[in-house]
Amino acid sequence: MQPLLAIAWLTWKAAFRFRLFLVVAVLLLGSVVGLPLLIKDDGTARGFTQILLTYTLGTISALLGLSTLWLACGTLARDIEDCTVQVVAIKPIARWQIWLGKWLGIMSLNAALLALSGASVYGLLQWRATRLPADQQKVLRNEVLVARGSVKPASLDKEIQEETDRLLRERLQKNPDSRADIAEARKQILEQIKAEYQVVPPGYMHLWQVELGTAKQIARGQPLFLRLKFNAADKSSSGTFDGRLRVGVPRETPLWHSEVMSLAPDTFHEFEVPANYDDKGVLTVAFLNANNTSLLFPLEDGLEILYRQGGFGLNFVRGLGIIFCWMALLAALGLAAASFLSFPVAAFLSLGVLTLALSSGTISNAVAEGTLMGFNSETGRSGHSVVDVVAIPVFRAVLGVINLAKDFSPIDALSTGRCVTWGELGRAFGQIVLLLGGGIGLIGIIIFNRRELATAQVQ
């Protein structure tokens, strides 16, 4: 352990010697203090807090990520190029210990910088929150500076698939000689059945029964938040549709009714409602469609129940924890690249990989469409190319690897008051640090171990 710590300490010393720590710390603190002065928000306390969290944490991640890559590439590649590593390598210390020691050094620097900037953001938020009027503070404490868990109605996917298969079988039995495209017919039946679950005709009521599960205990005595979204079959001149909400079951639980509300389609609406769930912890929500057109509540995100699961402080720490995991991966990437490349090439390669990971939208589209040739939405057909045979599986694999790190969105969760759970943090550690970082680190260590250090000497 001592050799590892010694190398880590050397990395710290180098960071201070080259003023890197100081420069990055000033930049981070400057962004935390300066951004709120420059950014234009939507005029609400909630909007300001959300934009502040998004921009400050986004800037911290970007600055810290770039400095991590830079430092990781520089600290190893430069040591090799100016032969410093030869002095270290002749000591009783294994190559893997040098590599890992540098990684530890970079990560401990990151931990210090992240803690410093994170604490500043947290302090700034709390300070600003206390200066707001009482009603705005309430909104912030309930909806943004909070860790909200979420429950959705039970998935109906199994029932829908079974019903689809049953109907398809029936139709095929009735028309055994049919030459219809079976896959297309099944798709259409599936959509019809889904529509039955989603569509609310004019004057009808849509009912959801949501089992709160463990959330029942946590949410007791606290308001819940309904998050609703619907699509409309037609346009309205005002751009909105009328609806009324009811929470609870008549004669079984207390009932809550909203007024008739003017709501826009294709967007999420949040309502604070009382926790009128029954003895089994089932919350019944009804929505009355008071329009002349049908409304559609998507099965995936038509309704969600949000409840207060914990405080903002710990949630914020967990969110920073995931950012820290990203930094660990970047440090491993930079060190691995520097294990066999010169500093400029290693930095270029690392930045290239980072850019590829950040712009995975194109890859994702190609995988979703099953071709590189694009999808024609008018004809409903995709193009086809021989290259697809190789490219699509490769893209799928690349996307799978990228998504191991990209699946997490702590900044988004923190700015919208969603809970970053311990499980999520654990998963992030497993996927990003151990699996991806570990894999890249292992490759880096093996290469570094086999490298002839003296050949890299620069005149």
Task: Point out which residues bind another protein (CB under 8 A).
Answer: 39-44, 46-48, 50-51, 54, 237-240, 259, 261-264, 267-269
Q: Cα(139)–Cα(147) distance, rounded to whole angstroms?
A: 13
| 95 Cβ neighbours under 8 A, 6+ residues apart | 89, 445, 448, 449
> Is the CB of 209 or the CB of 416 nearer to another protein?
416
> Is the CB of 50 or the CB of 294 nearer to another protein?
50
- Shortest spacing between CB 228 and another protein, in angstroms: 10
Q: Cα(395)–Cα(363) distance, rounded to whole angstroms?
A: 6
> Is the CB of 255 or the CB of 261 nearer to another protein?
261
- Shortest spacing between CB 371 and another protein, in angstroms: 23
- Shortest spacing between CB 304 and another protein, in angstroms: 13
φ and ψ of 381, to 5 deg: -120, 150
- Shortest spacing between CB 374 and another protein, in angstroms: 18
> Is the CB of 82 or the CB of 301 nearer to another protein?
301
Burial-class residue 51 by CB neighbours within 10 Å (0-12, 13-18, 19+): middle
Write the single-letter amino acid at 58.
G
Angle (nearest 5°) at CA 364 between 359 and 368: 165
Positive or negative torsion for Cα 448, 8, 442, 358: negative
Closest CA to 105 of 331, 326, 276: 331
> Is the CB of 263 or the CB of 330 nearer to another protein?
263
Q: Cα(337)–Cα(324) distance, rounded to whole angstroms?
A: 20
Q: At what angle do helices 312-338 and 343-358 cross, to 10 degrees?
A: 130
> Is the CB of 53 or the CB of 114 nearer to another protein?
53
Q: Using alpha carbons, list the distances in angstroms from residue 391 to 236, 363, 388, 396, 453.
A: 45, 10, 5, 8, 37
Collapse the DSSP code of 261 into the 3-class scheme (helix H, G, I; strand E, B; otherwise coil) and give the result.
strand
- Shortest spacing between CB 35 and another protein, in angstroms: 10
> Is the CB of 291 or the CB of 431 nearer to another protein?
291
Q: Cα(108)–Cα(9) distance, rounded to whole angstroms?
A: 10
> Is the CB of 157 or the CB of 272 nearer to another protein?
272
- Shortest spacing between CB 229 and another protein, in angstroms: 8
- Shortest spacing between CB 62 and another protein, in angstroms: 14
Closest CA to 61 of 367, 313, 408: 408
- Shortest spacing between CB 33 and another protein, in angstroms: 18
- Answer for the pair 412, 323: CB distance below 8 angstroms, yes or no: no
